[in-house]
Amino acid sequence: MPPYRLHAAPMALQDGYTIDLIRWIDPYDPEAPYALVNHLGLSRISLKTTNLDADLVTLAAAGVEFFSAPVTIDRPVANSRLVCFKDPDGTLIELVELGDAVPGAPNSGGTHIIGSLQTSVNCSDFERSRDFYEMIGFETQAEGEYVGSPELAAAVGLDSYHVREATMTPDKGSSLRLTKWEDPHDSRAPYAHLNHLGIPRIAIQTTHLEADVQRLKDQGVVFYSEAITPQPPLGIVTYACFEDPDGTVIELVRCNFFLACPF
């Protein structure tokens, strides 16, 4: 990016999953986020709730429109249910109630959303991207090919649903769902710059930033720049950015003051 100005607010859910909410002031890109969930890159946020029915009522009362009625799915737990909707800018949000969820008290916003289900990354070459994320440090827990029902396709805003997926986990934190869309397929590249509306990057925490940067460089990863520590009040983190094989931006972050770090 060129020199920039922005207004930001890290916002955390109960499990520590953090959305870095950013309004880019300069440069500003007004282009809408991805319209569909099958676009390469980070097309959606995937959240989990313990009481989907109650949340449907709460969100509908706030003006949220859902793609369809809830649909039952068998992943990651049997008898789970899913709905999709958009935030005010059009960013896609997938809300899932796991089949074994135990209803709890509402959060400060009045919903029962407790955290992230998965970070979802769409790729063009499944094996290449799986190997890349394993190199970073994610471990593949399961993978397979899945053809969804017409009801599931409609629930995510598509006419068909055929994917190849892998569930990958780090040592700690949210798992990653790596998806190759077979049908419908969209080969357009991810956002070119971080100031695009939507979800332009993943932030991954490390405790040994310099060592990880060097290890990844030795594996052929090209970083935008050397790691930097911003001026206060953002000096609580040091970070460096690079891209996955499709151009999805990954921000590798070290928290300099653990208790104050939002990631």
pLDDT tens for 113-171 read 999 999 999 999 999 999 999 999 999 999 999 999 999 999 999 999 999 999 999 98
Q: By C-alpha distance, which of 174, 208, 138 is closest to 13?
A: 174
Length of the chain: 263
Position of tokens 């074994």?
100
pLDDT tens-digit readout, 156-204: 999 999 999 999 999 887 899 999 999 999 999 999 999 999 999 999 9
Cα–Cα distance list, 186 to 36, 43, 149, 182, 231 (Å): 9, 11, 20, 9, 39
Domain ranges of the chain: 5-30+189-260, 44-183
| CATH number at 44-183 | 3.10.180.10
Take residue 85 and report the two structure tokens written for it: 């909707």
pLDDT tens-digit readout, 83-94: 999 999 999 999
Model confidence at 261: pLDDT above 70: no
Model confidence at 262: pLDDT above 60: no
In this structure, whether the domain defined by 5-30+189-260 belongs to CATH 3.30.720.110 is answered with yes
3-class secondary-structure state, position 15: coil
pLDDT average, residue stretch 99-121:
94
pLDDT of residue 171: 84
- pTM (predicted TM-score): 0.93
In this structure, what is the dihedral angle of CA atoms 242, 245, 249, 254, given to the nearest 10 degrees?
Answer: -50
Residue 263 — very low, low, confident or very high, per pLDDT cuts 50/70/90?
low
pLDDT average, residue stretch 20-29:
96
